[in-house]
Structure 1
Amino acid sequence: MTSASLTALNEILDAAGLSPDAASRVCLSGDDPVFPTRYRIGAAGAAAIAATGIAAAQLWELRTGRMQEVQINVRAAAAALRSARYMKLDGPAQPDPMDPLTGFYPAADGRWVYLHCNFPNHRDRALAVVGITSTSKDDLAAAVARWDGPSLEDALMNAGGCAALTRSEQEWGLHSQAAAIKSLPLVEIIRIGDAPAQPLPDGPRPLSAVRVLDLTRVLAGPTCARTLAEHGADVLKIMAPHLPHSGWLEFDTGLGKMSAYLDLRDSSGAATLRELVHSADVFSQSYRPGALEHRGFGPGELAALRPGIICIELSAWGREGPWHERRGFDTIVQTATGMAMVSGDGIKPQLMPVSAIDYVSGYLMAFGAMVALARRALEGGSWLVRVSLARTGRWIVERGLLDRTALSEVPNDLSPEEINQLTMETITPAGRLRHLAPIAQMSETRAYWARPPVPLGTHPPRWL
């Protein structure tokens, strides 16, 4: 096991109160750099995935009394941090979910601002704030150039858009939100209510018969539920039909899941969700802080509705600080916290070649959920697991930087032979899909997805 991966894994275990002895069950191979980035994304990804394997192995031990080993390849783990890149669906080429207006723009003061326009509502608000109706990238650049960077960031976020001013690491370190994030654990696992101990039901897999409601979007939250599914959980994704989504990229994180539509603005939709909660074990959501509480689905309400439930909350900026209610994505966090400046060429910022913050956050959520399930089995209680993109980003930064000279001969991708070894085929309603196989190799309970990914809203909103 590489020292970077071991240190990272021990930090995850420590955040959850687990003994470092648990790492002795893990064998890691490979090392950074895998892709041309100074961040040790291979070590970070391998540690996070290894932690999910350890948690699954501990659940299996609770079920059966038998221990098992976990193997992780660092190069495979790095590939998992951009798993959508390795999806190929038979048939016509799928549309690019990246809106052409998304990207970095220079402002009047020479600062760079990143605009997230991949969802229509964010794109429309960006155009409205800068005062144009044109969807030309040149027109948008000209409009942004009339603003100073900090004012545009504030105006866009206050208008319900999604953007970030590009900061240096030093500048971010002086920000009050950075101080708030620094005080947060990497993964929070909190007992929020009383309930009797609930032993794990019989079954052939670590999470057999565990029911998961997945009310998340984009990458991090859906990766959590996909990871639980690969260890045997029954996952029902709940999506509001009016909300924007990621198109065919939903297949990346839809492996192993059922998918149903529910509109929580409607009383019947909310009532149906309450019925589902009654027989759920895990409730995972990534709405902005407070949004679901207003509809009666906060952790306290859920614990009262279903004593023993495991609630998972993902936020962009954590539960404290002046930005705790702000929107954010992996790219926004990279930009605001200095990571994009480190990745850039000294003139223009640049994003990492992987969505490390998103995917690692998803694996940390799944790890926390499984630790909480083990605690529920042993001591009872309802539990809350919290993860934030910004805290995950800070943890990745804490892995340290590779020297630029170490990247000079690093290829942009894995070899075709490696990709072929890491991928598998699944028949879906949309055709034959090639995608990454599970990365965690378990010695007794093979990780796999029992269901193919399906288009959103394929299933009725009930447990099948």
Structure 2
Amino acid sequence: MSTMTPELALKHIWMTAQCDPTALRSVSLPGTDPGLPSVYRVGALAQATIAASGLAAAEYHRLRTGRRQHVTVEMRRALASFRSERYLRIDDGPPPALRDPVMGFYATRDDRWIQLHTNFPHHLEGVLKVLGCANDRAAVAEAIRGWDGATLDQTLADAGLCAALIRTPEEWAALDQAKAIAGLPLFEIERIGDAPVEPPREAGAERPLTGVRVLDLSRIIAGPVAGRALAQHGAEVLMVNGPHLPNIAPLVIDNGRGKRSAVIDLRDATGRETLNGLVRDADVFLQAYRPGALAARGFGPEELARVRPGIVYVSVCAYGHTGPWAGRRGFDSLVQSASGIAFTEREAAGWDEPKHLPCQALDHATGYLAAFGAMAALARRATEGGSWHVRVSLAQTGRWLQSFGLLPDGWKAPDVSIDDVRDCLGTVQSEFGRVLGVLPAERLEETPARFDLPPARIGAHEAKWA
């Protein structure tokens, strides 16, 4: 196994996207792993993905001004960003409740472990229906004791529900899904159509992404982090939710900073026409629905490249866009469970039950990679034209983290409390109250990253550009 440094990881991202290697001289990445209790090099992942996003913003600004600027990302600030939902506070209240009580690990009849993900009410109801038990952790545990792990894993997946059998890295590698994504790069930036060159609008603007319009059709963490990362460099980000789709309130607040928020119902023709109208004036279309879901409504990448030549279409998914699990519902913690990460953390720490990473590292890293990909594609559009499709997934990001090599005693590192990161936090007044949240980790010497807007409730704004 290799030992990955933050600098090597950043170089891998940068060169995979065929960006100008000269820019890498303008980055500083102070700090060393382990920055959190984990045997994985989570700090290197955080630093490299955030630095890639910050450096891409700096390079897009250079296209506008001709000036390079230095980018610094401290590991401790990057790790604070990777735990932004954990450090969020409203009016100095208690930490937000992010998980349903039934969510978690359960032992099966054949002495395996399975993880349930029940944070959305309809997912919880579906799991309880399959198990035939009450909404109570003890009842769920007893019901799962009557199932073999692999059978329950497949039964829940077939029902469109969210669970993952805890696998070893070797068991995961043997699956067809792991083999499918093993053939993919960390991310893809693909030209999907012809369009004229579009240099950055408003030459000489003070912020890297001034004039860039982003439609953010994503929920929970990975996609919304990508939209938030674009907003903090000056993009106009309009978050679009469906009126029927569930959300998790603290994540709406944490990842809604810098964005406006509208509701559009894509189940009816009027809603689809409204979104099409927004697409015509958009630069980036960011979506985190399961592969094919939006294409079925007429909003696939090729369709939008016809509606808006020059669009940068960004797709975020759980298990990758190819392979038998491409359509499987997934979240960060489930990908950790399925791919051997939770098994490896447990083995190292000697725990009785599986153990997740100390942050939603796959979500956050994938979000920053999506933002990076969007900016790299905007830079290509500015120099060679074209419409572009950027693809990232939690499983591809997880596979990359697993290639970094392990820190055998990394799990012994001290945990990091909110008091340890007070200098990484800032407050803003919002309709939710006074929000204390993690500030952008990347420091650009000429164009500091910042949030121009407080978070807003879902549907607070009209579905139109400012």
Name the counterpart of 2:453.
451
Name the counterpart of 1:187.
187
Please say if 1:413 is aligned against 2:424. Answer: no
Q: Distance in 1 between matches of 2:102 and 2:448?
A: 42
**3-state DSSP of counterpart to 1:29:** coil
Deviation at 1:340, TM superposition (A): 0.3
Name the counterpart of 2:234.
232
When residues 9 and 91 of structure 1 are mapped into structure 2, their CA distance, relative to the original with a 3 A threshold, is: closer
Asked if the contact 2:4–2:404 (Cα under 8 Å) also holds between the matched residues in 1, the reply is no
Name the counterpart of 2:307.
305
Name the counterpart of 1:81.
82
Asked if the contact 1:76–1:439 (Cα under 8 Å) also holds between the matched residues in 2, the reply is yes
Letter aligned with residue 416 of structure 2: D
Map 1:93-112; keep pairs closer than 5 Å. Answer: 93=94, 96-112=97-113
Report percent identity of matched pairs. 47
Q: What runs of 5+ residues in structure 2 fail to find an aligned partner?
A: none
Q: Distance in 1 between matches of 2:247 and 2:285?
A: 20
Paired residue total: 459
Deviation at 1:14, TM superposition (A): 1.9
Name the counterpart of 1:31.
32
Letter aligned with residue 182 of structure 1: A
Q: Distance in 1 between matches of 2:317 and 2:21?
A: 27
Name the counterpart of 2:392.
387
Name the counterpart of 2:442.
440
**3-state DSSP of counterpart to 2:437:** strand
| Regions of 4+ moved over 6 Å | none
Query: What is the CA deviation profile of residues 387-423 of structure 1, one whole-angstrom value per residue up to 9, with x for unaligned ones?
Result: 011000011111111012x543x2111572x412111
Deviation at 1:96, TM superposition (A): 1.3
Query: What is the CA deviation profile of residues 38-84 of structure 1, one whole-angstrom value per residue up to 9, with x for unaligned ones?
Result: 11111110000110111111101100101101000011111211111
Moved more, 15-24 or 293-302: 15-24
Asked if the contact 2:87–2:418 (Cα under 8 Å) also holds between the matched residues in 1, the reply is no
Deviation at 1:244, TM superposition (A): 0.7
**3-state DSSP of counterpart to 1:43:** helix
Map 1:85-234; keep pairs closer than 5 Å. Answer: 85-90=86-91, 93=94, 96-132=97-133, 134-202=134-202, 203-234=205-236
**3-state DSSP of counterpart to 1:196:** coil
Please say if 1:371 is aligned against 2:369. Answer: no
Deviation at 1:18, TM superposition (A): 2.1
Deviation at 1:427, TM superposition (A): 1.0
> Which residue, 336, 339, 344 being the options, matches 1:337?
339
Asked if the contact 1:91–1:431 (Cα under 8 Å) also holds between the matched residues in 2, the reply is no
Name the counterpart of 1:64.
65
Asked if the contact 1:206–1:231 (Cα under 8 Å) also holds between the matched residues in 2, the reply is yes
Letter aligned with residue 159 of structure 1: A
Deviation at 1:97, TM superposition (A): 2.8
Asked if the contact 2:256–2:456 (Cα under 8 Å) also holds between the matched residues in 1, the reply is yes
Asked if the contact 1:200–1:377 (Cα under 8 Å) also holds between the matched residues in 2, the reply is yes
**3-state DSSP of counterpart to 2:151:** helix
> Which residue, 256, 267, 270 being the options, matches 1:268?
270
When residues 222 and 60 of structure 1 are mapped into structure 2, their CA distance, relative to the original with a 3 A threshold, is: same
Letter aligned with residue 186 of structure 1: L
Name the counterpart of 2:323.
321
Q: Distance in 2 between matches of 1:280 and 1:355?
A: 29
Deviation at 1:322, TM superposition (A): 1.0
Q: Distance in 2 between matches of 1:318 and 1:402?
A: 27
Moved more, 387-396 or 14-23: 14-23
Asked if the contact 2:89–2:95 (Cα under 8 Å) also holds between the matched residues in 1, the reply is no
Q: Distance in 2 between matches of 1:281 and 1:333?
A: 30
Name the counterpart of 1:252.
254
Name the counterpart of 1:422.
424
Q: Distance in 1 between matches of 2:137 and 2:4?
A: 45
Letter aligned with residue 15 of structure 2: D
Give the TM-score normalised by the residue count of structure 2: 0.96
Give the TM-score normalised by the residue count of structure 1: 0.97
Query: What is the CA deviation profile of residues 175-234 of structure 1, one whole-angstrom value per residue up to 9, with x for unaligned ones?
Result: 111111111111100000010001111122110010000000110000000000000000
Asked if the contact 2:196–2:310 (Cα under 8 Å) also holds between the matched residues in 1, the reply is yes
Deviation at 1:266, TM superposition (A): 1.4
Map 1:12-23; keep pairs closer than 5 Å. Answer: 12-23=13-24
**3-state DSSP of counterpart to 1:421:** helix
